[in-house]
Amino acid sequence: MRNSFVERVGLMREFHFVVTDPVGIHARPAGELVKYAKQFESKILVKKGDKSSDMKALLKLMGMGVRQGDEIEVTVEGADEADCAEKLEAYLKEKF
């Protein structure tokens, strides 16, 4: 299981997270995650395998089919990327 620290990659922040929630990222939790992500100015990209989504786009995020045990890669780029990446990783650890 790899829930890594926030890493600086070029002009963006990136971290990996393994989903531990038994139901993964589905309807209600996905909605809460999107709502949380929308408070940040930065662009947030979620990637699982060959699928990716803007974390602020509910239907695309749900369409990724993220389940318990799946590893996601989160990339944050923008004016508030440091704060965003740190808070988002903490949020995922707490909720998922």
Helix, strand, or coil (residue 47): strand
Q: How far apart are CA 64 and CA 59, in angstroms?
A: 9
For residues 36 and 45, is the Cβ–Cβ distance under 8 A? no
16 has catalytic annotation: no
* Annotated catalytic residue, options 26, 43, 47, 60: 26
Structure tokens at 31: 């909605």
Residue 39, token pair as written in the block: 């408070």
Show which residues are catalytic: 26
